[in-house]
Amino acid sequence: MSRLVVVSNRVADLRQATQSGGLAVAIADALKAKGGVWFGWDGNTLENETEKLGIDRVGDVDVISSPLTVEDYSQYYIGYANSVLWPLFHYRVDLVDYRPQYFEGYMRVNGKFAALLKPFLKQGDMVWVHDYHLIPFAERLRALGCRHKMGFFLHIPFPPADIIAASPNHAYLVEALLQYDVVGFQTSTDLNNFNRYVEENIPDAMGADGVIRCGGRTVRALRLPIGIDVAQFTELAEKTFEDINIDHMRRAILRQRQIVGVDRLDYSKGIPERFEAFSRMLHLHPELEKTVTFLQIAPPTREDVTAYAEIRMRLEGLSGSINGKFGDIDWVPIRYIHRPVPRPRLAAMFRSSEVGLVTPLRDGMNLVAKEYVAAQDPADPGVLVLSQFAGAAEELEDALIVNPHDTEEMGEKMELALRMPLEERQNRHARLLDRVKQSDVGIWMETFIDQLEGAGGADSVAA
């Protein structure tokens, strides 16, 4: 059996992976089952370069991590990854802040990481690289003579060629993707965009049945939507939390309902549009006054990137003005919390909210949508309102699907969700839960590893 080597921007603490949930647990489980290595940044920044690695052995798994220099952090992580690739791949060309030194930093860190990992690779290992931070990783490893099977999964969207072309390095990025044996995408839209780019821009590439042949190599490109650990999340949601219960009971007595939104505070999540839609709903349906509260939890992320400071200011202004306009002594329409919440409490909060609002302007998948479904009580489930631009919308057709740019429609769908009859809620929820189970993170993981095992890598290490 081949060992698995997982490479991701950040490594999780294997001993505490259950607390981070989802992907970290799935990776930890797969690594424990097969043995192997998890390699990535340890989250620290240092003034000067060091080759000293953190090595933590847990059973048959080595967690190997490296710090970044301050310059690497600013050019690779804040720069190319989060000020170029993140906005670009989320269709926000207007927010791209391209600088040549960012790309240099991106290549430097990918090259450095590849060189640091190489001595730990054994013959027959399969390397699975995650996400946009590390697109060049296989190309860099192959340049060092590694001929292992290598797979890549893109957790964020892959936009059409015209958009990708806004980065001066687009041709390199796609050629670098073609250095993997398996490349996975979240949705068929992403997969089609990639295939079209290759078809139209890579002269010697030939594609059929999901297999691209080019430069003497064979690359399998596939759609494989990621999911959550459904059983684990449902169990979390069933746990009781006194304060959440009291809050729920208080609302039941007052005949009040709760709409919930949970997102990192990112401009891709459409949070201001959601606030506008809520305000629109209150304006169009004055009968809802004092009967509904919107709880938005949005912890800070990537605060070193300018666009994130801007979205934060905008949101604070908007929630203040909506509360000022509609609120009363005994009613705060929007409760906005700018802090992380532990997963078990989050799950319980989803369960006790009548409507889950997941309305990104663009999202690779959006796991919150799946978590909201898994958290519901099937006997009396809440309603998911979901953006057509979340990857999850491809599977979760039984949600109330909205266009997040159309705040009027979104407001109307929220109101519809609040008065949806029990039977329709149950029927929709049963179908949604079915779909969420089909892409459980365990199945997702196994399917990708199977594909990688079946791929035709040269399977030997150069001396």
User: Would you tell me which residues interact with ligand ADP (CB under 6 A)?
Assistant: 21-22, 262-264, 297, 299, 340-341, 346, 365-368, 371
Q: Is position 398 annotated as part of the catalytic site?
A: no
**Contact at 8 Å (CB) between 133 and 81?**
yes
Angle among Cα 94, 198, 445 to the nearest 5 degrees reads 85
> How many Å apart are CA 133 and CA 450, to the nearest integer?
24
Q: State the nearest-atom distance from the C-beta of 148 to ligand ADP, in Å.
A: 28
Instruction: State which residue, 345 or 405, has the beta carbon closest to ligand ADP.
Output: 345
Q: State the nearest-atom distance from the C-beta of 303 to ligand ADP, in Å.
A: 15
Residue at shortest CB range from ligand ADP: 367
Q: What separation, in Å, do the N-terminal and C-terminal C-alpha atoms of the chain show?
A: 22
Instruction: State which residue, 355 or 367, has the beta carbon closest to ligand ADP.
Output: 367
Instruction: State which residue, 121 or 262, has the beta carbon closest to ligand ADP.
Output: 262
Q: What is the arrangement of strands in the sheet containing 257-262, beginning at the earlier edge strand?
A: 334-337, 292-297, 257-262, 355-358, 383-387, 400-402
- The strand pairing partners of 217, in sequence order, are 214
Instruction: State which residue, 179 or 296, has the beta carbon closest to ligand ADP.
Output: 296
Pairing verdict, β 355-358 and 334-337: unpaired
Which residue carries 């505070």 as its tokens? 265
Instruction: State which residue, 131 or 412, has the beta carbon closest to ligand ADP.
Output: 131
Q: State the nearest-atom distance from the C-beta of 157 to ligand ADP, in Å.
A: 11
**Contact at 8 Å (CB) between 279 and 322?**
yes
Q: State the nearest-atom distance from the C-beta of 126 to ligand ADP, in Å.
A: 24
Q: Is position 62 annotated as part of the catalytic site?
A: no
Q: State the nearest-atom distance from the C-beta of 403 to ligand ADP, in Å.
A: 19
Q: State the nearest-atom distance from the C-beta of 195 to ligand ADP, in Å.
A: 24
Instruction: State which residue, 3 or 133, has the beta carbon closest to ligand ADP.
Output: 133
> How many Å apart are CA 120 and CA 101, to the nearest integer?
30
> How many Å apart are CA 395 and CA 386, to the nearest integer?
11
Among 155, 190, 266, 429, the one annotated catalytic: 155
Phi, psi for residue 420 in degrees, rounded to 5: -70, 130
Closest Cα partner for 360 from 381, 390, 405, 330?
390
Closest Cα partner for 90 from 174, 15, 201, 193?
193
**Contact at 8 Å (CB) between 395 and 440?**
no
Instruction: State which residue, 67 or 87, has the beta carbon closest to ligand ADP.
Output: 87
Could you give the dihedral angle defined by the CA atoms of residues 219, 224, 227 and 229, in that order, rounded to the nearest 10 degrees? Answer: -70
Instruction: State which residue, 213 or 338, has the beta carbon closest to ligand ADP.
Output: 338
Which residue carries 């799935």 as its tokens? 26
Q: State the nearest-atom distance from the C-beta of 27 to ligand ADP, in Å.
A: 14
Q: State the nearest-atom distance from the C-beta of 170 to ligand ADP, in Å.
A: 23
**Count of beta carbons in the 10 Å neighbourhood of residue 300:** 14
Among 62, 363, 398, 440, the one annotated catalytic: 363
Active site residues: 155, 363
